[in-house]
Structures are given as C-alpha cells and as structure tokens.
Amino acid sequence: MAESNQSHAQDAQYASSGDADAVTADAWGCTLKTRQYITELQAVLEREIGMRESAQRTLQLKKQQWEESFNDLRTHFERSSATQRDSLNLLIERERELKQRLNACNEQLAAVLSSTSWKLTAPLRVVARIFPAELRSKISNIFRSRS
C-alpha cells in the first residue's frame, strides 16, 4: 500500500508537472496572442492618431482660412461703413443746401405774389387764359419778335 501511495504521488507529480507544462504552453500561447493583439491595436492606434493629426492640421488650415476671410470681410465692412458714413454726411449736407435754396425760392415766390405788379396784372392773366393756347403762343411770339 505504501508503494501504491508513492506511485500515486509520483503520478500526481508527473501529472502536475505535465499540467504545469500545459499551463505554461497555454500561457505562452496566450501571451503570443496577446502580443499579436497588442501589436495590431498599436498599429490601429497609430493609424488613428495619424488620421486625427491629419484632420487636426486640415481643421487648423480651415480655421486660418476662415479667420483670414473674416478679417477681410471686417476690413471691407469697415471701409464700406466709412464710405457710407461719408456719403451720408454728403447727402445730409446736400439736403441742407437744397432746403436753404427751397426756402429762398419760396420767399422769392411769396414776394412776387404779394407785389403790387402781380396784383395789378391779375386781370390780364385771367383774360389771357380765355384765349386758346395756340392763340396765346402766337401773340407771345409777336411780342417777342418786336422786342
């Protein structure tokens, strides 16, 4: 019986030693698979990083282009705004000038309408309106040719 126990102990030791080799082989296989997986992941990660860096450079270039366009538009707007402001000032000044001329014309018209000569010639203007336009034109031409 002692021999039998010793034999079982040796068998168990061989079995455990075989199990250890199998476990080591399995662990080595897992390690190789893990290393391959890690290598594949690193390659994917490097590609992804490269793509992201490329996208980032593209976005930075686009941002720079947008900023330049924005600055160009701002400059154009500021110039346009200044030009419009100058034009508006000129128009305001022109309006002021035209209002002064209109007021002067209205004053002159009021002076003519209130003058004695205008009042005295009122009956002549009424009689002149009675004649047709063609006849008035001929009479007017006769008086002009004599002058």
Range from 12-16, 51-55, 107-111, 133-137 carrying the lowest mean pLDDT: 12-16
pLDDT tens figures, 24-64: 666 677 788 888 888 999 999 999 999 999 999 999 999 99
Kindly provide the residue ranges of all beta strands, DSSP E only, lying in the chain, ordered along the sequence: none
Do 67 and 10 fall within a single domain? yes
Q: Give the range of the structural domain holding residue 50, as residue numbers without chain letter.
A: 2-81
The radius of gyration of the chain from alpha carbons, rounded to an integer in Å, stands at 55
Do 72 and 129 fall within a single domain? no
Residue 46 lies in a domain: yes
Average pLDDT over residues 6-31: 59
Residue 105 lies in a domain: no
Residue with tokens 């200044």: 82
Pair 83, 77: CB distance under 8 Å: no
Tally of domains within the chain: 2
* Residue 6 pLDDT: 56
Residue 98 lies in a domain: no
Residue 57 lies in a domain: yes
Residue 87 lies in a domain: no
Would the pLDDT of 3 be above 60? Answer: no
Percent of the chain with pLDDT over 70: 81
* Residue 117 pLDDT: 93
Pair 128, 136: CB distance under 8 Å: yes
pLDDT band at 1; cut points 50, 70, 90: low
Average pLDDT over residues 5-15: 51
Residue 100 lies in a domain: no
Residue 76 sits at the vertex; the CA angle it makes with 65 and 92, to the nearest 5 degrees, is 165
Task: Report the mean per-residue pLDDT for the chain.
Answer: 84
Average pLDDT over residues 71-83: 92
Percent of the chain with pLDDT over 90: 57
Average pLDDT over residues 116-121: 94
Do 135 and 69 fall within a single domain? no
DSSP state of 121: T
